Chains A and B, each alone.
Chain A
Amino acid sequence: MLTTRVIPCLDVEDGRVVKGTRFKQIRDAGDPVELARAYNNQGADEIIFLDIGATYRSQKTMVDVVEKVSRCVFVPLTVGGGIRTIADMRQLLAAGADKVSICSAALNDPTLLSRGADVFGSQCIALSVDAKKTGDSWNCYVKGGREDTGIDALEWASEGERLGAGEILLNSIDKDGTQSGYDLELTQRVIARINIPVIASGGAGNLDQIVDAVLIGKADAVLLASLLHYGTYTVSDIKQYMTKKGVHVR
């Protein structure tokens, strides 16, 4: 039976992991290779690297990061942040990424999704949707949640599926960093509209909230950042709890 995925997300800038990381077993907390290996050993189902530098230099170093990690970590690797062209995608996929996550570039040019899916297959293309509640609905935001595009997030997710995205990485801007739980209503509403997997992101603060994202939100996968990076829980702690609550995990 297909299991719910637990996915650590690492923020990387100029080749270094920038969010605080407190693992005892890690010698260099900023080394993406060591961290990816540690999460792999804990049972991470995939690993996402987000390039938050989004400068030319930071992008180049991300290619090196992927190249190195993929030599020793054999689970799917996704890379997001600043990907704008088919050439960007090709470079990362050739270096060892299995998927690329596209956010603002797809809003500027939706054909990037269909062109990417045509060249590499839908399974390589994840659409990242940064959604923020605006009145009774959610809008897509760009620039790290600072700029409202005025585009309805639910409609955009559904359009993304039509254009060829293989999954949706759904970030709640409202919940991100609050540790107050995933946006369950947003997750449910998006999942009701599309037939591709949805990764819930933003807001995980405790184990019950993670279980809720799956059992109530119906998410296919959960993305975790601070909760893991600060060493509050390991991936295996989280999976043990999920199993106890009836969520099927690897």
Chain B
Amino acid sequence: MIGIVDYGAGNLHSVQKAFAFLGKDSSILQHPSEINGLDRLVLPGVGSFGHAMTEIRNQGWHAPLLDWLAAERPFLGICLGMQLLFESSDESPGQEGFSIMAGDCRKFTINKVPQIGWNDICITRRNALFEGIENGDFFYFVHSYRVSPDDRDVIWAETTYGGAYPSIVGRGRVIGVQFHPEKSGDTGLRLLKNWVERC
């Protein structure tokens, strides 16, 4: 069973509908105790880095999520949910993320902000997540900040927007994607299916 963490930010139903379309059961978790017995966790998220971390702390999600991440259990962070894996963000100075990956999040300095639309990926570390997905395949992005990992080994795919930046990061079974797979048509559905079945 897949759990989708609801800390009060973002439209979680799109993610749930995509799993339903794929025939995968998922439930939206409103309380941290509901984590028990789940196989996989999805952390979606829109809004600001600081607001999300504050809500995650206030609602008691911080400790259970950190335990889950530290144990490298199957995890997919989407958009802001990916950025929260890192230590900090220029968006909310002084707020600490989960710090599961070393590095921070920086605002795009050239081009329009936010980046809105379909952009392609270049796979830098091919693995089971990319079954049936090729370099140059498109995903739907909406974001103003991008992650900047200290350790380049966590970068699984890159995308170019005024320079290359990481669009998928991973370590073991903890994965973050900057785009919205649930809004990326057939390719996005394929990635979600791979994640459930192969990662």
Query: What residues of chain B lie closer than 8 Å to A45, measured between beta carbons?
Result: 117-118, 140
B128 at the interface (CB under 8 A from A): no
The number of inter-chain residue pairs (CB within 8 angstroms) is: 85
Query: Contacts A76-B140, A121-B47, A123-B46: A70 and B114 contacting too (C-beta < 8 A)?
Result: no
Interface window among B29-37, B56-64, B147-155, B179-187: B179-187
> What are 26 of the A-B contact pairs (CB < 8 Å)?
A1-B119, A1-B120, A1-B161, A2-B161, A3-B118, A3-B119, A3-B138, A4-B117, A40-B185, A45-B117, A71-B20, A74-B14, A74-B186, A94-B11, A96-B11, A96-B17, A98-B11, A98-B183, A121-B46, A122-B114, A123-B114, A123-B142, A195-B113, A197-B116, A221-B117, A250-B118
CB nearest neighbor in B for A73:
B185
The smallest beta-carbon distance between A168 and chain B, in angstroms, is 11
Query: What residues of chain A lie closer than 8 Å to B183, measured between beta carbons?
Result: 74-76, 98
Q: Knowing that A1-B119, A74-B185, A250-B118 touch, tell me 11 more A-B residue pairs with CB under 8 angstroms.
A: A3-B120, A45-B118, A71-B21, A74-B17, A75-B183, A94-B13, A96-B11, A96-B17, A121-B47, A195-B113, A220-B117
A120 at the interface (CB under 8 A from B): yes
The smallest beta-carbon distance between B9 and chain A, in angstroms, is 8
The smallest beta-carbon distance between B89 and chain A, in angstroms, is 15
User: Across the interface, do B11 and A93 meet the contact criterion of CB distance under 8 Å?
Assistant: yes
Main secondary structure on B side of the interface with A: mixed
Binding site for B on A (CB under 8 A): 1-5, 40, 45, 70-72, 74-76, 93-94, 96, 98, 120-124, 166-167, 195-197, 220-221, 250
